[in-house]
Structure 1
Amino acid sequence: MSENPQIPAVVVAEVDDELLAEAFVLDVREPDEWARGHIEGATHIPLGELQERVGEVPLGQKVLCVCAVGGRSGMATQFLGNEGRDALNLDGGMHAWQQAGRPVSLD
């Protein structure tokens, strides 16, 4: 369940291989959180840097925003939507991802 119904969101069970292949996965956690594991192929831009680095987030491609539990990624989703991106928040974040047994990359 999304904290804010106006922020487009998806739960881990709805994230299939097709979505992962199509989406630009954006992890907005801090560097130490990123280092402990992230979704393979994700791009790391901490939330505090997103405004100045928004140009790195593609237009015309779905953006799946990820953080630890969904709060920061919800803010990123809202910001990116206002910037013209098709952004989606991962409800439950990496905690839900890992609890569901989904793969985590340490690269």
Structure 2
Amino acid sequence: MTKIAAAAFFAAKLAYETDPSDLATARAGGNPPLVIDTRSDAAWAQGRIPGAVHIPNADLQDRIGAVATSLDQEIVVYCWGPGCNGSTRAALALATLGYTSVRELIGGFEYWAREGLAVVTDDGRTRQQPDPLTAPAA
């Protein structure tokens, strides 16, 4: 592998992925991305990122036009976590449909919650202490 190939690979990863901390920072800014939860109804009810839009993968193609304002809108997709490829499938589907600014949340909902970021369930909003293996302890 050449230095150029390695640099291109890592640049592409950063262009098409984001992590929970960077997503939280982007959401706190003036122009937050559209965040889409691709999981099942049961998973959505169990917990989700506040402000996320629930569109399971099976419905994505039919429903994305109702929530995305343009093909160049910044979109972040997520599923459960590193053991789930639902967000990868969603990102591929959106890119195939022509959306040009799609990113996958690495770590998914699992790492969002483990980093101590706010979570919404059907019972309300919560936040757990950060897991010291994923974020600095307070």
The TM-score, its normalising length taken from structure 2, stands at: 0.66
Question: Which of the residues 34, 49, 52 maps onto 2:44?
Answer: 34
Residue 64 of structure 1 and its aligned partner are, at CA, apart by 0.8
For structure 2, list consecutive stretches of 5 or more residues without a partner in the other structure: 1-12, 123-138
Moved over 4 A (4+): none
The number of aligned residues is 104
Q: Secondary structure at the match of 1:22?
A: coil
What is the CA–CA distance in structure 2 between the aligned matches of 1:26 and 1:96, rounded to whole Å? 16
Residue 26 of structure 1 and its aligned partner are, at CA, apart by 0.5
Aligned counterparts, 1:18-33, within 5 A: 18-19=26-27, 21-33=31-43
| Structure possessing the higher relative contact order (Cα contacts under 8 Å, 6 or more residues apart) | 1
Given the alignment of the two structures, is residue 93 of structure 1 paired with residue 108 of structure 2, yes or no?
A: yes
Identity %: 29
Residue 44 of structure 1: aligned partner: 54
What is the CA–CA distance in structure 2 between the aligned matches of 1:16 and 1:97, rounded to whole Å? 9
Q: Secondary structure at the match of 2:119?
A: coil
For structure 1, list consecutive stretches of 5 or more residues without a partner in the other structure: none
The TM-score, its normalising length taken from structure 1, stands at: 0.83
1:22, 1:61 within 8 Å by CA — same for their partners in 2?
no
Residue 86 of structure 2: aligned partner: 72
Q: Secondary structure at the match of 1:61?
A: coil
Residue 96 of structure 2: aligned partner: 82
Residue 52 of structure 1 and its aligned partner are, at CA, apart by 2.0
Higher Cα Rg, which structure: 2
What is the CA–CA distance in structure 2 between the aligned matches of 1:95 and 1:22, rounded to whole Å? 21
CA deviations over 1:8-65 (Å, ceiling 9, x no partner): 1112122233346511110010000000110111110111111222322412321110
- Give me the CA root mean square deviation: 2.3
- State which drifts further: 76-85 or 16-25: 16-25
Question: Which of the residues 17, 32, 47 maps onto 2:25?
Answer: 17
